[in-house]
Structure 1
């Protein structure tokens, strides 16, 4: 609330200084956009740093949309152009899945944010590379990719993990493929969690599967991967 008040006050002063006649509610709207951008800026950092490229792309889309909306509300719309230009470098790094390039372009984006603040007369609003997670209830690693890697490394010796036409299981007769498992009416995330967290040495109806002894986070990653496979198949 305190940050929101500071941002709102800054925007009101900016509009007053520029001589612009702002309609009722305009300052609050711009303040909301600034608050959104600050959160998205922080989320983008952890998504890119942890190679969660899908999340990074999502945050870039959100930032692009909010920068565009911001430029329409500024007295001098060109103030947002340099940040938009720097976003192109960030986008290229994310598309290339290049962590060092991402970190460098992100630093450039942060500098452009601060440059805009200074040129607008608000040098005391200083952005930085985030030091801590912006929210405590979001996972920034790519859980689905981790689940895919765990499934291939742990389950792939016996099961066909993704595409039966491209994989050859090691055993005949082969265990059910992952596409077969997710197509079963009985498949559920809770059921899979219960199955993978069993304390028994061997699992399955015939006790044919060795217990992989996955950690809780690994189980959640595998669950996320299989749920994504099922969702993709149903689309």
Structure 2
């Protein structure tokens, strides 16, 4: 994939006057720009699908690589315009504001193109991505989806997230998800089997019916369950 994107970039002109960061080479700068392009794409789709944790992560990676690519004071993140654009993106992500995110993302994209032109690379123009090249990555917040699905499929009997806020409609003794996650003998595969079984005895007078879930919904609930296990292990 990297090779494909690199092949689409204009060839480097050895005779051109290009100001590179001190101690770097054109290859190192090109590698950083490719990484930034990937992160720029991932940031957009993370925000588009309201995966704010992922959007926050990608923005931090962009900030790190921008500092590496432009370490001189005149070109660095100390530029007031770039700083304002990045801060606007950060605010939108922290506030989980999709409209503000789209506006800030467009502004930072235009800022990137302005930097390219000022640096003699005006032929490189980036835009808001139309499609994701990352077919192996799910940009939706699978954990949040799993939490919501668990509430819908299991919340009648189980406390899913917060015992102080949740009151299951059926009060017979059903362990909370947190309690289930704390059991060393109960794995994510056990939960997957439980959610796909026709019936599962959970007590002498009770049976848990098979939830009407498709595979991607089960994957999401399992992802949420695994975060509960990880939280308890920390």
Give the TM-score range, shorter chain.
Answer: 0.7 to 0.9
Counterpart for residue 112 of structure 2: 113
Deviation at 1:48, TM superposition (A): 0.3
Structure 1 Cα separation of the partners of residues 21 and 233 of structure 2? 52
Q: TM-score, structure 2 length as denominator?
A: 0.87
State the 1:205 CA deviation: 4.3
Distance 1:33 1:19, change over 3 A: closer
Measured at CA, do residues 177 and 124 of structure 1 come closer, stay the same or move farther in structure 2, by a change above 3 Å?
same
- Structure having the larger proportion of residues in helix: 1
**Against the structure 1 CA distance between its residues 20 and 27, is the aligned structure 2 distance closer, same or farther, given a 3 Å change threshold?**
closer
Normalising to structure 1: TM-score of the pair?
0.87
What residue is the counterpart of 1:147 in the other structure?
A: 146
Distance in 2 separating the partners of 1:79 and 1:155: 47
Deviation digits for residues 65-86 of structure 1, max 9, x if unmatched? 00111112x6952598343431
What is aligned with 1:204? 201
1:3 shift after superposition: 3.7
Which residues in structure 2 correspond to 1:79-228 (within 5 Å)?
A: 81=79, 82-198=81-197, 200=198, 202-206=199-203, 208-228=207-227
Inter-CA distance 156–31: structure 2 relative to 1 (3 Å threshold)? same
Aligned partners of 1:21, 1:44: CA distance in 2, in Å? 25
Closer, same or farther: CA 150–11 of 1 in aligned 2, 3 Å: farther
Aligned residues: 229
Q: Note the C-alpha offset of 1:174.
A: 2.0
Structure 1 unmatched runs, 5+: none
Counterparts of 1:79 and 1:168, CA distance in 2 = 49
Return closer, same or farther for 1:21/1:212 CA change in 2, 3 Å cut-off: closer
Residues of 1 paired with 2:96 and 2:139: CA distance? Answer: 15
